[in-house]
């Protein structure tokens, strides 16, 4: 319950808020931790590339759409749009959820 929380109904002072803010600004997150956060909060995606035979071959599986977008040099929104529509991007790439 809310009322069981010792801070229920109280607010932080301006000084406390500034201390919390400064602590957060100086926080350094390791690349390993960032990868774990991506795995938890990201939307996993596989990228398939069309071969000369017309088949699609897996070229990468990513923990997030953002990382897949960086790999291809395109916007994550583009990947989401083509994945949701089930269309092939530039007649070359197909995006599928894991």
Supply the pTM of this predicted model. Answer: 0.67
Q: What average pLDDT does this structure show over 2-17? A: 89
What angle do helix axes 65-72 and 76-85 make, rounded to 10 degrees? Answer: 110
> What domains can be seen in the chain, in order of their start residue?
13-97 (1.10.10)
What are the angstrom distances between the C-alpha of 46 and each of 17, 18, 65, 73, 88? 42, 42, 9, 15, 13
Residue 5 has pLDDT above 90, yes or no: no
């Amino acid at each position: 319950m809310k009322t069981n929380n010792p801070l229920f109904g109280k607010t932080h002072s301006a000084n406390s808020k500034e201390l919390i803010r400064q602590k957060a600004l100086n926080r350094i997150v390791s690349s390993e931790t960032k990868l774990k956060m991506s795995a938890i909060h990201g939307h996993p995606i596989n990228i398939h590339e069309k071969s000369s035979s017309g088949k699609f071959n897996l070229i990468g599986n990513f923990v997030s759409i953002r990382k897949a977008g960086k790999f291809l040099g395109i916007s994550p929104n583009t990947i989401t749009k083509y994945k949701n529509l089930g269309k092939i991007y530039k007649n070359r790439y197909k995006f599928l959820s894991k």
